[in-house]
A = this chain, B = another copy of it.
Amino acid sequence: MQGFELVRDLAISTSSKIVLLVIDGLGGLPDPSTGQTELESAHTPNLDRLARTGNCGLTRPVGPGITPGSAPGHLGLFGYDPMAYVIGRGVLEALGVGFELEQGDVAARGNFCTVDTGGKITDRRAGRLSSDESTHLCEGLDGQEIDGVRLMVRPVKEHRCILVLRGSKLDARLSDTDPQQPGMTPLPTTALTPEAERTARVVNEFLRQTQIRLGNCHPANMLLLRGFSERPRLPGFNEVYRLKPAAVASYPMYRGLAKVLNMDVLSTGPTISDEINTVKQGYADHDFFFLHVKGADAAGEDGDFARKVAVIEEIDRLLPEITALSPDVLAVAGDHATPATIKGHSWHDVPCLISSRWCRPDGLAKFGETECLKGSLGIMSATALMPLVMAHGQKLTKYGA
């Protein structure tokens, strides 16, 4: 029996409440001028107090040296082995916009892009098209039927959209059409297995039609597709842990992920404050809250050290509103590091903390990478977080006689 199955076996439903605050891209690297990471540079008296009284450590998202995408980063925090459970980008985006994927549907993430008269990509994001324009373009492409397959195109945000294919015997094992760099022409998709050949033909015919329909829509005169995928069969988070979980996330992809895991996705506003208010409103009806804050990752991706610090400081300022709810367990973690110096996700271990009445206090001076190394959680697999959080919530019964 592996750990995940064991936890599933031992989990019991109780009245205790757990809040898991995920600060996306939390981990960082030092500003060369100060030697302090984003988290260490931030003024965080509330997080620091939890680091003193709670248990700290570092989570390793997937494995040593592995930089995770958002989905494996979160799956690990939720206790699912991110190497065993894989969720495609298309599925995530589709669920994120509330698209009700049926079993057997094939979903892809789309980007409206700009191509020149020679067909070469000049801007992979079509000048970050407005959401309104994108919605209009999607309407023009939506609802086609090719070889008995229905093709649905829906806007996500700005230049992003989704394509969903619905029909019999579809297969998502298709290559991306996005060459990932300007100066290249969009690629046709190719079947990665013979069973996917028909699906590839349908997609390529759709792209041919798209090229015609978007011909006069400069700058959004072409569409790139990637992350073809089908809805995976994952054991529900509610079922594994016997929880009534609520997801509070303003960014669509994380709502999508939560839906795949059968969490209740609560409607919320765009700010951290909105999200915390949503937790408050749903507090009585759930016993687990996945509270996702996107800003730290976005700032890290932009290489904006100061903005990432500011996002962390904003979280810290609002933290008393969460602790005022007196959850039995409060955990703070990140799905991966997004160091501003790297301007992207990285493989570095990520600070985390657990606060509950059952913590032997680590007494750390600060919530930060260097101090967390001294914490009692040690360097642990991200998948260890949920079992620990469940234990601190006294939601796991004893194993064995």
Contact = CB atoms under 8 A, between A and B. Distances in A.
Contacts of A391: 64-67, 346-347
Contact of A6 (B63, B379, B380): B63
Nearest to A81: B1
Question: Is the interface on chain A under 10, 10 to 19, 20 to 34, or 35 or more residues?
Answer: 35 or more
Main secondary structure of the interface of A (DSSP, over half): loop
Nearest to A67: B398
State how many copies of this chain the complex holds: 2
A390 interface: yes
Given A89-B401, A360-B37, A396 B30 contact: no
A127 interface: no
A128 B84 CA distance: 49
Contacts of A71: 400-401
A87 B6 contact: no
Contacts of A88: 401
B358 A6 contact: no
Contacts of A401: 69-71, 87-89, 92, 227
A322 interface: no
- For the complex of A and B, 9 pairs with smallest distance between CB atoms: A65-B387, A89-B401, A65-B391, A64-B384, A69-B400, A72-B400, A347-B391, A378-B379, A65-B388
8 contacts: A3-B64, A6-B83, A65-B389, A65-B391, A66-B387, A66-B399, A68-B399, A344-B398
Interface of A: 1-3, 6-7, 10, 29-30, 35, 37, 58, 62-72, 82-84, 86-89, 92, 227, 339, 342, 344-349, 358, 360-361, 363, 369-370, 373-374, 376, 378-380, 384, 386-392, 396-401
